[in-house]
Amino acid sequence: MKKTLKKEDTYYENIIKKGYSRRDFMKFATVMTAFMGYESSMVSQVVNALETKKRIPVIWEHFQECTGCSESFIRSDHPLVADLILDTISLDYTDTLMAASGHNAEEAKQESMKENYGKYILIVEGAIPTKNEGYCTIAGRSAVEVLKESAAGAAAILAFGSCSSWGGVQAAHPNPTGSVPVDAIIKNKPIIRVPGCPPISEVMAGVVVHYATFGTLPDLDSMNRPKQFYGKRVHDSCYRRPNFDAGLFAETYDSEEAKKGYCLYKAGCRGPVTYNACGTMEWNNGVSFPIKSGYPCIGCSENNFWDNGPFTERLTNVPGMGIEATADKVGKIVLGTAVAGAAVHAVATNIAKRKEIRDAEKRGEQNEQNIKA
Amino acid sequence: MANRIVIDPITRIEGHLRVEAEIKDGKVVNAYCSSTMIRGMEKIVENRDPRDVWAFVQRTCGVCTTVHAIASIRSVEDALGIVIPPNAELARNIITTSQAMQDHVIHFYHLHALDWVDITQVLNADPKATSELAQSISKWHNSSPGYFSDVKTRIKKFVDSGQLGIFAKGYWGHSAMKLPAEVNLLAVAHYLEALEWQKEIIKIHTILGGKNPHPHFLVGGMASAINVSDAGGLNIERLAYVSKLLKDAHKFINEVYIPDLLAIASFYKDWGAIGGNKFNNYLSYGDLPTGNYGDIDTYKWPQGVILNGDLTKVHPVDLENTNEIQEFINKSWYDYPDGKEKGLHPWEGETNINYTGPKPPFNHLDVDKEYSFIKTPRWQGKPMEVGPLSRMLIGYVKGIPEYKEVVDYALTTLDVPVGALLSTLGRTAARGLESKLLADWGLEFFDQLINNIKNGDTRMASTEKWDPSTWPAEAKGVGYMEAPRGGLAHWIKIKDTKTEKYQMVVPTTWNAGPRDPKGQMSAYESALIDTPVADPDNPVEILRTIHSFDPCLACAVHLYDEQGKNISQVNIGGACSI
């Protein structure tokens, strides 16, 4: 059944067509405004944008991935997001959900990319192997070739997840397939990193809607991450932070300290070097996040976090410890290289913590040697 | 001369799967399934802290997002002799149960249904007749004519918009689509409801593991400490949340999924004679211990093997016996040091990648040579099917009352013989019937957890062997579990507190492997033989059979290189593809 685009509906028209009320639409706009970090006075501008902007086609490519980012995306929880993100954007190609397979699926993609050349959003899930073209093929074509073709007509690229943002788990030592992130292949397009393993559902939705609404990329930090979601360390937004400041730590699991919700820094928590919205938004519509459920953060949104281990060992190099930090302030010294060992940029708030860091440093260096060995 | 068709990508799955099938006289006469992506997980976890490995291997699959982590922590616990507290066993059971329910529902509505349901037929449905149908099969509350009218209106406006998005170029109007318009409308309404429900049930993982996808786990138990008298742990609010979600799941499965499954199946009974594997061997490792993981007699999912379709006997399985489970690579892009014909037990397993397929872009694989990144596991040299059908059959053959009850109920309702289970329809039905059992079990596990707490046992983790200085210099273990798609096991060797060797044999490896040295097909290929194909350009029938297994491909592919040197020996110039 071949259907061609008759006319491009606005978001508002589309929503009303789908049977939603004006009130539903206003609620959605309000929620998205809050997500995007704007004052409530901006709601009317978001509404205006959604009412007048055209729908944007989306092509979603899957390379070396686990589909966890797609799974997270469909968890998007606020009233209209689950329906609207799928419908508001026109999701013209995705391995995970589309009805057609094989040549039917590929034709649908080609038609959309041709018709919407220069206008569609390309979402990339997964890393790209470079050691051998045969390590990831789709329809008999290599991942590199498919990515280059899809990127050519994209208005912008969203790198969803730590794999397309940084390389991810397959790029961890020894990176057997030579996996690289999107920006190692594509140099001439705006690429927004939305890292996380996977990213929080509403963060993914928020980035898409920001672009669809304002027609601009969200405000990005120096690593091309949207500041509104990645501007704060988990440590600085963690509800257990007062325990850290008071020197109250849980060192073993299921201990009295663990049961009281003490700080997990000594159990290896990566909150102090991890920029993400887990502490502020929490997961699955604000239910919890790893630290709240008793597990140290493993830093899954950071570059090279897989090799910043073992996760069971406390951090050895924590810059800005004890003060509010943003990614740009702390800069590139730390990110992804927290076990680099040599330079300690710790500014601990009390002597006890400084000693903790000193003691742990040696173990961290040893760990690094072990991994490299 | 048979006509070779290629379906790549197979969509509505996890990962990258390619099928090449030969069609003659309207039927599949030969089929080759290939996994076309590799990452090298087993190599990556070498030399890591065994207590961290769960996080790495968990990323083999983000759909069945918990299962590899559980198999991994169990393998480490097995190697180190750690027995976890009963509450941790129950918490893991609740995670596994809710994972399987969510996965099965997503599979039915969002990955499999569009092979059977024609979304465009919704436009011809009468909302009043749909309401009557819905109310005749279920007491689910969303069943009024007005409700179905709203859904129909929404779909009509969607189709009229001309932008079909994920529904573009589907198999609409295909001659294999048999549902009355009203059943299509019912199914599409529940497609949308299931999309909302699936994000609720997984909040159990968020409570017990901090997030979903990819919740956190702990070697030795669970880190979510129980504390009903102080802030900071699992308190009564958190537990009540889990309870509510399990009750909601019970209701959704019994009032939506099961009635829809039986309603749709009743129009496709001919598929009870299509798509069974031809070797009729079924394997389950078993899982969901009601006592201790080490005591397989307490499992809700029983362990065993059914051979040659003999539904009177269940054979025992030993995952540590090096003669039982072996992986072959004669048709896979790997090398073994002792040649390509000999199988290796996972503790001895190794995989040196050697891609010899065509250089992309390519039109066809050379199936006379190696053609997949999946290895081929065998049990005592025999191919096995794993998954919900295997588990249901083994429980049924063992005569476990709750299995007999749900299976007989389905057979009676559909008026089909027990042999109809060994088919595409049976595989899809088994997944639903299993969900019905899981919905009951989840509530049972939760009640046991509450009883333990009431009796004063709040232990959630065993930490005596957390410190690596307590470990032996060398140890090896196997951790197994039943993933939604079937039996999953990880084998680990630990040396000097580091991971020396790691091997995973996953459900899709069992089902989707290429041919073995004896030429025996694995389950996907075998099941496709004789599948009818009315229109080779739109082979929806092949998708029905392949999707009935719920493929999960990234799981099925991984690279292991014992010496750590063969990675660089890959022949980049020569071959590469798939």
Q: What is the pLDDT of residues A5-26, one digit of tens each?
A: 344 556 677 667 666 777 777 7
B323 contact A CB<8A: no
Check the CA dihedral A208-B554-B431-B293 and report its sign. Answer: negative
pLDDT greater at residue A239 or residue A97:
A239
Identity of the residue in A7, A96, A261 whose CB atom sits nearest the CB atom of B233: A261
pLDDT on residue A326: 62
The band of A103, judged by pLDDT with boundaries at 50, 70 and 90, is confident
CA-CA distance, A22 to A15, in Å (whole number)? 9
B55 in contact with A, Cβ within 8 Å: yes
| Chain-chain contact of B199 with A82 (C-beta, under 8 angstroms) | yes
Q: What is the 8-class DSSP label of residue A75?
A: T
In angstroms, the separation between the Cα of residue B453 and the nearest Cα of chain A is 14
> Rounded to whole angstroms, how far apart are CA atoms A359 and B2?
70
Cβ-Cβ contacts under 8 Å for B557 (sequence gap 6 or more): B15, B35, B37, B38, B39, B373, B374
Distance from CA of B149 to the nearest CA of A (A): 11
* Least confident window among A75-84, A125-134, B132-141, B475-484: A75-84
Contact B168 A102 (CB under 8 A): no
Helix (H, G, I), strand (E, B) or coil at B398: coil
Length of chain A equals 373
Cis preceding-peptide flag for B358 (omega within 30 of 0): no
Residue B32 CB-density burial (10 A; 0-12 exposed, 13-18 middle, 19+ buried): buried
Q: Which of A4, A8, A21, A66 to mutate to test the interface with B (most CBs of B within 10 A)?
A: A66
Between A316 and B178, whose confidence is greater?
B178
Pairing of strands A141-142, A137-138: antiparallel
What's the pLDDT at B155?
86
Mutation target among B8, B16, B20, B39 for the A interface, most CBs of A within 10 A? B39
pLDDT of B501 > 60? The answer is: yes
CB B267 within 8 A of CB B183: yes
**How far is Cα B369 from Cα B330, in angstroms, rounded to an integer?**
8
Report the range of poorest mean pLDDT among A94-98, A315-319, B364-368.
Answer: A315-319
CA-based nearest distance B491→chain A, Å: 20
Q: What is the per-residue pLDDT for B248?
A: 98
Q: How confident is the model at residue A39 (pLDDT cuts 50, 70, 90)?
A: low
Min Cα–Cα distance to chain A from B285, Å: 24
Q: What is the pLDDT of residue B566?
A: 25
pLDDT of residue A45 exceeding 80: no
Alpha helices in B162-272 (DSSP H): 181-201, 203-209, 236-252, 258-265
Give the residue carrying structure tokens 């997503």. B106
* B36 touches A: beta carbon within 8 Å: yes
pLDDT (0 to 100) of residue A31:
66
Chain segment B36-56, per-residue pLDDT in tens: 889 999 999 999 999 999 999
Where does the pLDDT of residue A77 fall: very low under 50, low under 70, confident under 90, or very high at 90 and above? Answer: confident
A136: nearest CA in chain B? B37
Q: Tell me, what's the pLDDT at A34?
A: 64
Assess B315–A contact: CB distance below 8 Å, yes or no.
no
Distance from CA of A216 to the nearest CA of B (A): 23
Question: CA of B320 to nearest chain A CA: how many angstroms apart?
Answer: 28
pLDDT at B570 over 50: no
**Mutation for testing the A interface, residue in B60, B142, B153, B166 having most A CBs under 10 Å:** B166
At residue A334, what is the residue type? V
In chain B, residues with a C-beta closer than 8 Å to the C-beta of A94 are: 11, 166
Spacing of C-alpha B338 from chain mean position = 32
What are the structural domain ranges in chain B?
A: 3-333+337-569
pLDDT, mean over chain A: 81
pLDDT for residue B117 is more than 90: yes
Beta-carbon contacts of residue A310 (< 8 Å; ≥ 6 apart): A268, A367, B48, B49, B51, B52
| B39 to A169: CB separation less than 8 angstroms, yes or no | yes
Query: Whole-number mean pLDDT of chain B?
Result: 92
Secondary element (H or E) of residue B493: strand B486-495
**Over pLDDT 90: what percentage of chain B?**
81
Is the Cβ of B39 closer than 8 Å to some Cβ of chain A?
yes
Task: Please say whether the dihedral angle defined by the alpha carbons of residues A12, A13, A15 and A20, taken in this order, is positive or negative.
Answer: positive
Which segments of B8-128 are extended strands (E)? 17-24, 27-35
Chain B, residues 490-509, CB within 8 A of chain A, namely 498
Q: How far apart are CA A259 and CA A270, in angstroms?
A: 20
User: If residue A223 lies in a helix (H) or strand (E), which one and from where to where?
Assistant: none
| pTM given for the model | 0.88
State which residue of chain A sits closest to B355, comparing Cα positions: A134
Report all structural domains of chain A as residue ranges with CATH numbers, in order of start. Answer: 11-229 (3.40.50.700), 231-372 (4.10.480.10)
Closest CA to B54 of B469, B442, B504, B486: B504
Out of B17-21, B163-167, B226-230, least confident range: B163-167
Of A65-74, B94-103, B124-133, B295-304, the range with the lowest mean pLDDT is A65-74
For residue B464, count CB atoms less than 10 angstroms from its CB and return exposed for 0-12, middle for 13-18, buried for 19 or more: exposed
Q: Which carries the bigger pLDDT value, residue A42 or residue B38?
A: B38
Q: Which residue has the tokens 């829809």?
A: B260
Q: How confident is the model at residue B405 (pLDDT cuts 50, 70, 90)?
A: very high
B55·A198 Cβ contact <8 A? no
Q: Please say whether the dihedral angle defined by the alpha carbons of residues A23, A29, A35 and A41, taken in this order, is positive or negative.
A: negative
Q: What number of helices (H) and strands (E) belong to chain A?
A: 16, 9
Mean pLDDT for the stretch of residues A102-131: 94
Looking at residue A333, what is its pLDDT?
41
Across the interface, which of B65, B166, B357 has its CB nearest the CB of A71?
A: B65
**DSSP 8-state secondary structure symbol assigned to residue A3:** -
Indicate left, alpha or beta for B256 from its phi (over 0: left) and psi (-120 to 50: alpha).
Answer: alpha
pLDDT at B556 exceeding the cut of 60: no
Please spell the DSSP secondary structure of A8-69, one letter per residue.
Answer: PPBHHHHHHHTT--HHHHHHHHHHHHHHTT--GGGHHHHHHHHHHSBP-EEEEEE-B--SHH
Contacts with A370 from chain B: Cβ below 8 Å:
47, 498
A168–B165 C-beta distance less than 8 A: no
Task: State how far the alpha carbon of B132 is from the alpha carbons of B104, B138, B153, B194, in Å.
Answer: 27, 10, 18, 21
What is the predicted pLDDT for the residue at B561?
30
For residue A45 the two structure tokens come to 């501008």
**Which residues between 324 and 363 in chain B have a beta carbon less than 8 angstroms from any beta carbon of chain A?**
333, 353, 355, 357, 359-363
- Chain A residues within an 8 Å CB radius of B105: none
Rounded Cα–Cα distance for residues B62 and A197 (Å)? 9
Q: So what's the pLDDT on residue B569?
A: 21
pLDDT at residue B9 greater than cutoff 70: yes
> What are the chain B neighbours of A75 within 8 Å (beta carbons)?
198-199, 202, 212-213
> How far, in Å, CA of B423 to CA of B548, rounded?
9
Are B383 and B279 in contact, with CB atoms under 8 Å apart? yes
Per-residue model confidence as pLDDT tens digits over A221-269: 999 999 999 999 999 999 999 999 999 999 999 999 999 999 999 999 9
- In this structure, the number of other CB atoms found within 10 A of the CB of residue A21 comes to 10
> Cβ of B166: how many Cβ atoms within 10 Å?
23
CATH of domain B3-333+337-569: 1.10.645.10
Checking if the pLDDT of A372 tops 90, the result is no
Distance between CA atoms of residues B487 and B67, nearest Å: 10
Decide if pLDDT at B404 tops 50: yes
Q: What percent of chain B has pLDDT over 70?
A: 95
Residues B369/B358, Cβ–Cβ less than 8 Å: no
The more confident residue out of B411 and A348 is B411
Confidence at residue B169, expressed as pLDDT on a 0 to 100 scale = 84
Out of B195, B213, B218, the one facing A82 most closely (by C-beta) is B195
At B562, the amino acid letter reads: E
Window 190-249 of B, Cβ < 8 Å to A: 192, 195-196, 198-199, 202-203, 206-214, 216, 218, 220-227, 230-233, 241
| Residues in B 437-456 with any Cβ partner in A closer than 8 A | none
**Gyration radius (Cα) of chain A, Å:** 22
| Coil, strand or helix at B156 | helix
Task: Enumerate the residues of chain A whose CB falls inside 8 A of the CB of residue B209.
Answer: 290, 293, 295
- Residue ranges of alpha helices (H) inside chain A are 11-17, 22-35, 43-52, 68-74, 81-88, 102-115, 143-152, 161-166, 201-214, 227-230, 234-237, 241-245, 256-259, 278-281, 327-330, 351-372
ipTM of this predicted complex? 0.92
The answer to whether B313 and B500 are in contact (CB under 8 A) is no
pLDDT of amino acid A208: 87
Q: What is the pLDDT of residues A158-200, one digit of tens each?
A: 999 999 999 999 999 999 999 999 999 999 999 999 999 999 9
Could you give the percent of chain A with pLDDT greater than 70? 70
In the DSSP assignment, the letter for residue B478 is: E
Terminal Cα distance for chain B, rounded: 26
User: Beta-carbon neighbour count of residue B231 at 10 Å?
Assistant: 9
Residue B575: is its pLDDT beyond 50?
A: no
